[in-house]
Chains A and B, each alone.
Chain A
Amino acid sequence: MVSSTNESPVPGGDIPRQELINDAVIRLAGNSQDGIQTIGGFLARLAGRSDQDVITYMTIPSTISGGPSIFQVRIGTGEVLSAGDQADFLVAFYQHSYEAHIGSLREGGVLIYDTDHVKPNLDDKRFVNFGVAITGLTIEAMGGAAKDKGKNMFTLGLLARMFSLQVDKLRALVTERFGGKDEGILRSALVAFDAGFAYPADSALKRYFKFAEAETPNARPQVTMDGNQAIAYALVAAGVRYGAAYPITPWTSIMEILRAELPKYGGIFVQAEDELAASSLAIGAAYAGHLAVTGSSGPGISLKQEMLGWAVMAEIPLIVINIQRGGPSTGLPTNVEQSDLMQAIYGSHGDAPRVVLAPRNVEDCFHTALEACRIAREYSVPVVILSDQSLATRIEAFDEPDLDAVFVPPSLDLRPRSADFKPYALDRITQHAPPGTRFEGTYPTVSGLEHDEAGHPTANPAMHMKMTAKRREKLKKLAATLERPEIFGEQEGDTLLVGWGSTWGPIREAVRRGRAEGMKIGQVHIRHIHPLPPELERIFSRFRQIFVVEMNDEGLYGFGQLASLLRARYALPNIRSITKTDGLTFKVREILEGVRRLGGDAVSTFSLYPDL
């Protein structure tokens, strides 16, 4: 929390002190049914409408209902890269919320607690303790029948007062969310909100806060959404109208969105009986001439592997989305991990080259999904999008994409084909003629068997080698067109941090902090996981040591999954790993600690068995 004291009073009340802040991490801790996600969601949307940056972070229990849960919102006037290592403000609804999360509050931070449920250690003078009878006051405001309902709206009002938020915009957001259904619900929500807002926070807190206004308002309005929404709407923008899936956390929200949205666009999304059927169904639609999507999370993706291999062999354009979670098996369903990289690249059987892309933040989820669709169409290949639990559920505000520029209408090419048409011609990228296309002569059969240029099955060894090469070469052709990754921070020096996927923000923040501390440190983030972009080798050669930061295990030989691939690809002994598997996103501190811990080591002293 960067702050300065501003003595000017705000309109509508005499406020003794108002601190101007640029950045705040607010952690809301309660149970999953308290609606803390709703509070966080409103704060994030408000930030988006106020030209601020925002990143949220949530944990939900892997239980059917109830259980401890947190929602963290980091709002910043300026770039926000991570959800924050420590909280500046902690809202604790229960004793367990307090006990589990007081350790995440920074010294000097503000503890806001519900005096009806929480007895904090008031002797602990490291924090500003601010107790409010949230439960009792909510019931008082809403009437006896309210029970625990409305606590979240009361708290939102309280925060609105504490942070001098723009109440009009907030009330508008509440009205948009709850209006239109049952009028009573909106009325109750606003009653609770007003009661929270009316609470004289300054009597106990002695001060209020206010976010600095953005110096340069964004040219475009911001949209606020989570990573799964960004992917779903990008698929719609890219012309995807058919898909199928089976529910699994944290993938499910994408299928829920597509099931609701696609009919408006003339499309169909099917909830299939299992993952195998879902991927087969999507492939059926793709074979029929549409770009189609299927998706899942870890274990569900494993079940799709046989179909993915078929799509590689038959060269069918298909989008496969993997919202990674902790594994193996059902693992940690509601926690984050990046341990499906090898599965994404090599899963299935045989040599089955496909494209793998990983978005770095919510905005990039949108653009990665667009790019995935373009590549799938152009190269007639399955494309895997590797997102993860943290990206799926976190909310960010970003400049609204130029929809006119990115929009691709769906198309179905049924132009008649001549007698000499060969879908799998060896001298070009495969072009299918979907069913419904009129042929002169023989009609094509699409198959998982090795085939000749016309698509007829063949076990000819020479043809298998040629077709294997054909499937491989189109990916190399794609690789040559990919943009060279940029280096953030030092362009050469001691340390290069390499990452992929959702770790982009924390790594970037680590580079900023490291440079401020005098480290010669840079960052390269790899979005095109397979094939890799060109010129990585040249970038690697500029740094003494390279650390691949990823949320997976260090493996038998001390290297995470991407690090293993990069070592295999570039044969560089100075590529090492900073990995973790605690199911939580990287803290900036953890990355810098990793660099310090390993940075002093001479590269050659790496030992397979360090304890021996």
Chain B
Amino acid sequence: MSTGTLDTPAPRPPLTRKDLRADHPTWCPGCGDFAVLASFHRVLEKMQLPHERIVTLAGIGCSSRFPYFVNSHGGHFIHGRALPFASGVSLSRDDLHVFVFGGDGDGFSIGGNHLQHAGRKNIKMTYVIMDNSVYGLTKKQTSPTSPIGFKSKTDTTGAFDRPINPMNTLLASGATFVARSHATQVNHMVEMFERAMKHDGFSVIEILSECVEFFPGAFDTSVPRKGGSFVAIEEKRGDGSPEDANRHDPTNLESAFALANEQWPGVFGVFYQVNRPTKNALEAGLIAKARERTKGASDLDLLRATFNRLR
């Protein structure tokens, strides 16, 4: 089908972080998103994916500028629609590693619907939501994750709509890999990225990423350096030790929901991970079955047969 070749014979020098950098990020100095970007560069370097097969996609928002800052194929799409856009890429091109970046507005507000469907269909991609609990690109309006009492330009006396619980939402979406990290924890982010990338299915990571301009200090309670505490999830090891009984089993959805409902800012790590057939695989199965029934007939033969039936 393809006229080109995916595996070019030329030898590939190892991919370095330098190769992966593109335009200088336009984020404000001190923005948490820089750390997310740096972790992503680091994990790509570590994983050594074929450069041309990395696709970074995004909707609209500060974090959604991400694709411009990664030297890979990329698409900067419409507000809230990055997931269906990425679904089109993923389902039609199984050879690509599809990454989607966005913020709390793009993911939980305007694009909230799509999250449910990408999750339930288990479309293969990695979705990173950089949650800063504020609309930054439009200069401080209330976001779906802004806490009650947050004063913004659209809630000058303090927000009073109940905020979304991101982890609850992600778990409910049917995503088969759900994790949470913090922009101040680079090693933790790299680990989450790596595990998400290796997961066969819809993997999603929420990263708390501070907006220094419009909601500084939003996540300080989980930053040890600022007097908070970063509580990492201890996963079950299956070592039979007495402590293991109290550790979290990421295949247990009920226990993942229990973690999601812990008092904010909550815990960090992999909440949930299971294997379920991806839509990519199910569609490929549909194709394989259909091809089997048509017994290797060419596309043109198939079309001819259809027209014969329409005579």
> Judging by beta carbons under 8 Å apart, are A436 and B81 in contact?
no
B300 contacts which chain A residues (CB < 8 A)? 403-404, 407
A221 contacts which chain B residues (CB < 8 A)? 311
Instruction: Map CB proximity to B onto A415-451 as digits: 1 under 8 Å, 0 otherwise.
Output: 1100000000000000000111111001111111100
Q: Does B233 sit at the interface, judged by CB under 8 A?
A: no
How far does the alpha carbon of A442 sit from the alpha carbon of B310 in the complex, in Å? 50
Since A273-B114, A438-B52 are in contact, a sample of 4 more A-B pairs with Cβ atoms closer than 8 Å, ordered by chain A residue number, is A434-B73, A436-B53, A445-B68, A445-B76
> Judging by beta carbons under 8 Å apart, are A273 and B76 in contact?
no
> Judging by beta carbons under 8 Å apart, are A223 and B307 in contact?
yes
Q: Does A102 sit at the interface, judged by CB under 8 A?
A: no
A407 contacts which chain B residues (CB < 8 A)? 299-300, 303
A389 to nearest B CB, angstroms?
21
Q: Does A610 sit at the interface, judged by CB under 8 A?
A: no
> Judging by beta carbons under 8 Å apart, are A449 and B311 in contact?
no
A233 contacts which chain B residues (CB < 8 A)? 303, 306-307
> Judging by beta carbons under 8 Å apart, are A223 and B53 in contact?
no
Q: Does B139 sit at the interface, judged by CB under 8 A?
A: no
How far does the alpha carbon of A447 sit from the alpha carbon of B74 in the complex, in Å? 8
B91 contacts which chain A residues (CB < 8 A)? 242, 268, 270, 281, 285
> Judging by beta carbons under 8 Å apart, are A285 and B89 in contact?
yes
Q: Does B246 sit at the interface, judged by CB under 8 A?
A: no
> Judging by beta carbons under 8 Å apart, are B84 and A272 in contact?
yes
Q: Closest A residue to B302 by CB, please name it.
A: A264
B293 contacts which chain A residues (CB < 8 A)? 264
Instruction: Map CB proximity to A onto B269-310 as digits: 1 under 8 Å, 0 otherwise.
Output: 000000000000001001101110110000110111011011
Q: How large is the interface on B (under 10, 10 to 19, 20 to 34, 35 or more residues)?
A: 35 or more
Query: Could you list some 24 contacts between A and B, CB below 8 A?
Result: A49-B311, A233-B307, A263-B283, A264-B294, A280-B84, A280-B85, A280-B87, A281-B88, A281-B91, A284-B88, A284-B90, A284-B92, A289-B93, A314-B75, A400-B311, A403-B303, A411-B2, A412-B1, A434-B73, A435-B53, A436-B93, A437-B4, A445-B22, A446-B76
Q: Does B172 sit at the interface, judged by CB under 8 A?
A: no
Q: Closest B residue to A307 by CB, please name it.
A: B78
B281 to nearest A CB, angstroms?
12
Q: A233-B307, A287-B89, A436-B93 are in contact. Are A268 and B76 (CB under 8 A)?
A: no
Q: Does B77 sit at the interface, judged by CB under 8 A?
A: yes
> Judging by beta carbons under 8 Å apart, are B307 and A403 in contact?
yes
Question: When the two chains form the complex, which single residue of B86, B95, B114 contacts A436, counting CB atoms closer than 8 Å?
Answer: B95
The residue in B77, B80, B90 that gathers the most chain A C-beta atoms within 10 A of its C-beta is B77
How far does the alpha carbon of A278 sit from the alpha carbon of B6 in the complex, in Å? 28
How far does the alpha carbon of A229 sit from the alpha carbon of B307 in the complex, in Å? 11
Q: Does A457 sit at the interface, judged by CB under 8 A?
A: yes
How far does the alpha carbon of A437 sit from the alpha carbon of B3 in the complex, in Å? 11
B84 to nearest A CB, angstroms?
4
B168 to nearest A CB, angstroms?
20
Chain A positions 259-301 with a Cβ under 8 Å from a chain B Cβ: 261, 263-268, 270, 272-274, 276-278, 280-290, 292
> Judging by beta carbons under 8 Å apart, are B87 and A270 in contact?
yes
Q: Interface residues, chain A, CB within 8 Å of chain B?
A: 48-49, 176, 221-225, 229, 233, 236-237, 241-242, 244, 261, 263-268, 270, 272-274, 276-278, 280-290, 292, 306-307, 310, 314, 400-401, 403-404, 407, 409-416, 434-439, 442-449, 456-457
B37 to nearest A CB, angstroms?
15
> Judging by beta carbons under 8 Å apart, are B78 and A280 in contact?
yes
B241 contacts which chain A residues (CB < 8 A)? none
Instruction: Map CB proximity to A onto B50-61 as digits: 1 under 8 Å, 0 otherwise.
Output: 011101010000
Q: Closest B residue to A48 by CB, please name it.
A: B311
> Judging by beta carbons under 8 Å apart, are A435 and B84 in contact?
no
B237 to nearest A CB, angstroms?
38
How far does the alpha carbon of A287 sit from the alpha carbon of B88 in the complex, in Å? 9
> Judging by beta carbons under 8 Å apart, are A223 and B88 in contact?
no
How far does the alpha carbon of A516 sit from the alpha carbon of B23 in the complex, in Å? 71
> Judging by beta carbons under 8 Å apart, are B92 and A242 in contact?
yes
> Judging by beta carbons under 8 Å apart, are A274 and B72 in contact?
no
Question: When the two chains form the complex, which single residue of A49, A270, A415 contacts B3, counting CB atoms closer than 8 Å?
Answer: A415
Question: When the two chains form the complex, which single residue of B51, B83, B95 contacts A438, counting CB atoms closer than 8 Å?
Answer: B51
The residue in B23, B303, B304 that gathers the most chain A C-beta atoms within 10 A of its C-beta is B303
A436 contacts which chain B residues (CB < 8 A)? 4, 6, 52-53, 73, 93, 95-96
> Judging by beta carbons under 8 Å apart, are B311 and A236 in contact?
no
> Judging by beta carbons under 8 Å apart, are B68 and A284 in contact?
no
A453 to nearest B CB, angstroms?
15
Total A-B pairs, Cβ < 8 A = 208
A222 to nearest B CB, angstroms?
7
The residue in B5, B51, B88, B289 that gathers the most chain A C-beta atoms within 10 A of its C-beta is B88
A452 to nearest B CB, angstroms?
12
B55 contacts which chain A residues (CB < 8 A)? 435
A42 to nearest B CB, angstroms?
14
A179 to nearest B CB, angstroms?
12
B286 contacts which chain A residues (CB < 8 A)? 263
A225 contacts which chain B residues (CB < 8 A)? 310
How far does the alpha carbon of A261 sit from the alpha carbon of B302 in the complex, in Å? 10
B52 contacts which chain A residues (CB < 8 A)? 435-439, 443
How far does the alpha carbon of A282 sit from the alpha carbon of B77 in the complex, in Å? 13
A400 contacts which chain B residues (CB < 8 A)? 307, 311
> Judging by beta carbons under 8 Å apart, are A283 and B71 in contact?
no
A287 contacts which chain B residues (CB < 8 A)? 75, 85, 88-89
Q: Does B157 sit at the interface, judged by CB under 8 A?
A: no
How far does the alpha carbon of A307 sit from the alpha carbon of B75 in the complex, in Å? 13
Instruction: Map CB proximity to A onto B250-271 as digits: 1 under 8 Å, 0 otherwise.
Output: 0000000000000000000000
Q: A435-B73, A445-B76 are in contact. Are A284 and B299 (CB under 8 A)?
A: no
Q: A237-B303, A242-B92, A288-B93 are in contact. Are A447 and B76 (CB under 8 A)?
A: yes
Q: Closest A residue to B286 by CB, please name it.
A: A263
The residue in B53, B86, B93, B114 that gathers the most chain A C-beta atoms within 10 A of its C-beta is B93
Question: When the two chains form the complex, which single residue of A242, A267, A414 contacts B5, counting CB atoms closer than 8 Å?
Answer: A414
Q: A225-B310, A263-B286, A268-B283 are in contact. Are A435 and B4 (CB under 8 A)?
A: no
A52 to nearest B CB, angstroms?
13
A508 to nearest B CB, angstroms?
25
Q: A273-B116, A415-B3 are in contact. Are A288 and B89 (CB under 8 A)?
A: yes
B282 to nearest A CB, angstroms?
10
> Judging by beta carbons under 8 Å apart, are A263 and B3 in contact?
no
A434 contacts which chain B residues (CB < 8 A)? 73, 93
Q: Does B105 sit at the interface, judged by CB under 8 A?
A: no
Q: Does B67 sit at the interface, judged by CB under 8 A?
A: yes
B50 to nearest A CB, angstroms?
8
B74 contacts which chain A residues (CB < 8 A)? 443-446
How far does the alpha carbon of A428 sit from the alpha carbon of B21 in the complex, in Å? 29
A266 contacts which chain B residues (CB < 8 A)? 1, 287, 291, 299
How far does the alpha carbon of A263 sit from the alpha carbon of B287 in the complex, in Å? 4
How far does the alpha carbon of A221 sit from the alpha carbon of B304 in the complex, in Å? 13
A495 to nearest B CB, angstroms?
38
Q: Does B138 sit at the interface, judged by CB under 8 A?
A: no
Question: When the two chains form the complex, which single residue of A236, A270, A414, A445 contacts B67, counting CB atoms closer than 8 Å?
Answer: A445
Question: When the two chains form the complex, which single residue of B5, B22, B77, B311 contacts A442, counting CB atoms closer than 8 Å?
Answer: B22
> Judging by beta carbons under 8 Å apart, are B23 and A288 in contact?
no
How far does the alpha carbon of A449 sit from the alpha carbon of B78 in the complex, in Å? 10
B67 contacts which chain A residues (CB < 8 A)? 445
Q: Closest A residue to B7 by CB, please name it.
A: A438
> Judging by beta carbons under 8 Å apart, are B3 and A443 in contact?
no
Q: Does B117 sit at the interface, judged by CB under 8 A?
A: yes
How far does the alpha carbon of A442 sit from the alpha carbon of B23 in the complex, in Å? 10
Q: Does B156 sit at the interface, judged by CB under 8 A?
A: no
> Judging by beta carbons under 8 Å apart, are A443 and B72 in contact?
yes
